[in-house]
Amino acid sequence: MVEGNGDWLRVRGIGRERFAAYLVDYLGTLGFTVERSESTEPVESRVVGRLGRMNPAVPSAASEVRFRFYPTSGGAALVWVGPSEVPMHERSRMDRFVREMQTHLERVVHSESHATAKVVRPPEAHLPWTGPPKSEGAPSGEASDTAAAS
């Protein structure tokens, strides 16, 4: 994986196709029209969702979402591709949307795999609008541990 891209979530115990299917199903329940594509070079799945019907749980910045899934040793990784920028006035709604999506994925993977698989956040997990992991001068308080490590 290219430095700076950063994974948002990882799953152990199931493959990228199944992990992508769980996200596609969830986006469909929220009112998204979802397109899914597979490639072999590099091996990855791409998911693009466009909000088809209004949903108060989805901030306007997330009217189109994009993800990439790629295989890892023993599982798969999920990269949040877009949106890459979120206006400050929508950040709290977007954070809630992201938390709800993560919670749903954790629950469905855990229950449908009979607790043999699980979703984990990588140590350097981040979303594009929060900036690159461990960047100095980041607007949020997340970069404070970088200064402490110096």
The Cα–Cα gap between 87 and 50 comes to 19
Tell whether the model's pLDDT for residue 41 goes beyond 60.
yes
Q: What is the pLDDT of residue 112?
A: 83
Sequence-ordered list of residues with C-beta below 8 angstroms from that of 15, at least 6 positions apart, any chain: 71, 75, 76
Residue 86 covered by a domain:
yes
Instruction: Return the SS3 of 137.
Output: coil
What average pLDDT score do residues 55-60 get?
A: 90
Range of the domain at 59: 9-143
pLDDT of residue 131: 58
Strands, E assignment, 41-99: 43-51, 64-72, 75-82
Report, as an integer, the average pLDDT of 33-58: 92
Dist CA 138 CA 147 (whole Å): 11
Mean pLDDT for the stretch of residues 18-33: 94
Average pLDDT (86-99) is: 91
Under the banding of pLDDT at 50, 70 and 90, the label for residue 34 is very high
* Number of domains observed in the structure of the chain: 1
Q: Residue 23 above 80 pLDDT?
A: yes
Residues 50 and 72: their CA atoms lie apart, in Å, by 27
Q: Does residue 149 lie in a domain region?
A: no
Identify the pLDDT of residue 144: 36
Question: Is the residue at 2 inside a domain?
Answer: no
Q: Is residue 3 part of a domain?
A: no
Residue 137 falls inside a structural domain: yes
Answer yes or no: is 110 within a domain: yes
Q: Give domain status of residue 58, yes or no.
A: yes
**Banded model confidence at residue 138, pLDDT cuts 50, 70, 90:** very low
| Ordered alpha helix ranges (H), 9-143 | 16-30, 91-112
Q: Does the residue 123 lie in any domain?
A: yes
Question: Which range is least confidently modeled, 23-37, 46-60, 91-105, 131-145?
Answer: 131-145
Cβ(7)–Cβ(79) below 8 Å: yes
